[in-house]
């Protein structure tokens, strides 16, 4: 069977991170390539000497804070540094994490698995806007809680995300204490319901999943005691996740009509296992996946099929992902989705074979409103055209496209258009290329063409 380059171009934009030079000339049908990536079950991990576990990074941050306090107190024995001071640990860590993620995106054969990582990291949002502790641990959260499970069981992904140090910090569970626990009675502290609420509303059942305020409170009670290791005296590094029995609300808890006995940390695991297989969770996950990859208002039949696969396969995300790319509704030739800022910039770098400069990309994403791990709220970055296709947003994209065109001014614009768009390129785009005043302008025109902006 002959390979259709139009389908290859469509798939690499819709399901991947965009075509690289030579990708549209693949000899193997793109559907088989995508299917093979999922079935291989390999999720690459970003590497580099600067990338450590969240607990190690949080411990280093605490040490740096203590060192600064000593310096401010007049530590005359401290050595005088030579040259400009190094950026603080949170900024160094954040930049290293972004650089590693960009390298993976540039190297990915299609980018499908990376797109799944991006989707799930946004689904289980933690954001660096909440301060240094998150700036130092958000990348580790993706590496430790998201990547190992994006092709595994949803229940494992849910537990890993909910109990990771970054999530416990971000949604204030480290400040949540059972009112009737020994710690609560001694300190006069009580519940913080943020993590319980978002686990129900955003991560599992969805806002229309049939839960009420009593369920939010119940899950918050179950979550008490899940905090961070405070020192190195117990098992685990300071900053690692720890279950603190003395802060856990005692007694059985009824959540969504089911009672969970007070069996320590197993109480949360049992509750999350049940939430992970709830039919409302299946519908919520299916809707978000279909909305992200296919259309802002996805076909109901597609959503229903993904939800049923989720239920039938016990939340096996590799099988759900296969059902997505095998669904006929997902291959509608009309490009309905607009690329998010992250997708747009990465696709441009891949198509032009430009080495991603982290500083340039971070500045560009900041201008476009989508820096890595920086969503303004726990519901993550939006996934619809209205959020990214505003007049101001498109003007900023045009500015970035012009700068990128200047960086790649030695590239043949016609060959570039053929390598990233192929048969998707319209007559209007090809005419605009011929009329461009310079190579840089022509490249910018390709980047701003509707068939490149959309997927």
Angle, CA of 328, 331 and 334, to the nearest 5°? 130
Among residues 214, 315, 309, 303, which one has the least CA distance to residue 272? 315
Q: Where are the domains of the chain?
A: 341-453
257: left (phi > 0), else alpha (psi -120 to 50), else beta?
Answer: left
The ranges of the chain with pLDDT < 70 are 1, 49, 71-83, 231-238
Q: Strands 253-255 and 258-260: what pairing?
A: antiparallel
Instruction: Please write the tens of the pLDDT for every residue from 233-288.
Output: 445 566 899 999 999 999 999 999 999 999 999 999 999 999 999 999 999 999 99
Please tell me the distance from the alpha carbon of residue 128 to that of residue 371, in angstroms, as a whole number: 10
The Cα–Cα gap between 421 and 24 comes to: 8
pLDDT at 72: 62
| pLDDT score, position 231 | 61
Identify the pLDDT of residue 234: 47
Q: Looking at the chain, how many residues does it have?
A: 455
Instruction: Pick the closest to residue 189 from 243, 246, 241 (CA basis).
Output: 246
């Amino acid at each position: 069977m002959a390979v259709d380059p139009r389908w290859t171009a469509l798939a690499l934009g819709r399901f991947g991170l965009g075509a690289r030079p030579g990708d549209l000339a693949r000899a193997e049908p793109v559907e088989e390539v995508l299917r093979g990536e999922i079935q291989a079950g390999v999720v690459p991990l970003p590497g580099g000497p600067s990338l450590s576990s969240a607990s190690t990074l949080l411990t280093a941050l605490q040490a740096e804070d203590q060192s600064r306090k000593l310096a401010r107190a007049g530590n005359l024995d401290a050595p005088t540094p030579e040259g400009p001071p190094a950026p603080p640990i949170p900024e160094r860590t954040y930049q290293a994490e972004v650089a590693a993620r960009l390298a993976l995106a540039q190297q990915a054969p299609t980018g499908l698995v990376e797109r799944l990582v991006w989707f799930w990291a946004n689904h289980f949002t933690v954001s660096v806007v909440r301060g240094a502790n998150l700036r130092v641990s958000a990348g580790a959260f993706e590496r430790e809680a998201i990547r190992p499970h994006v092709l595994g069981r949803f229940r494992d992904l849910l537990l890993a995300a909910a109990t990771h140090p970054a999530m416990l910090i971000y949604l204030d569970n480290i400040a949540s204490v059972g009112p009737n626990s020994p710690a609560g009675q001694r300190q006069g502290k009580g519940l913080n319901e943020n993590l319980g609420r978002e686990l129900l509303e955003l991560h599992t059942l969805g806002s229309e999943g049939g839960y009420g305020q009593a369920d939010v409170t119940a899950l918050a009670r179950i979550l008490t005691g899940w905090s961070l290791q405070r020192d190195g005296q117990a098992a685990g590094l300071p900053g690692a996740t720890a279950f603190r029995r003395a802060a856990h609300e005692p007694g059985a808890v009824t959540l969504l009509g089911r009672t969970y006995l007070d069996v320590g940390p197993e109480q949360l695991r049992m509750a999350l296992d049940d939430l992970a297989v709830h039919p409302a969770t299946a519908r919520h996950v299916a809707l978000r996946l279909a909305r992200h990859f296919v259309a802002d208002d996805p076909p109901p039949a597609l959503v229903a099929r993904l939800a049923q696969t989720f239920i039938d396969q016990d939340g096996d995300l590799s099988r759900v992902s296969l059902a997505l790319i095998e669904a006929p509704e997902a291959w509608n030739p009309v490009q309905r989705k607009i690329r998010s800022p992250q997708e747009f910039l990465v696709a441009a770098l891949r198509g032009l074979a430009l080495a991603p400069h982290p500083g340039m990309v971070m500045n560009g994403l900041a201008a476009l409103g989508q820096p890595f791990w920086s969503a303004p709220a726990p519901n993550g970055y939006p996934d619809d055209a209205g959020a990214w296709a505003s007049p101001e947003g498109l003007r900023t994209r045009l500015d970035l496209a012009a700068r990128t065109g200047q960086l790649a001014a030695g590239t043949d614009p016609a060959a570039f258009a053929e390598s990233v768009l192929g048969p998707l390129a319209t007559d209007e785009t090809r005419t605009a290329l011929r009329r461009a005043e310079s190579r840089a302008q022509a490249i910018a025109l390709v980047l701003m063409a509707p068939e490149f902006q959309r997927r």
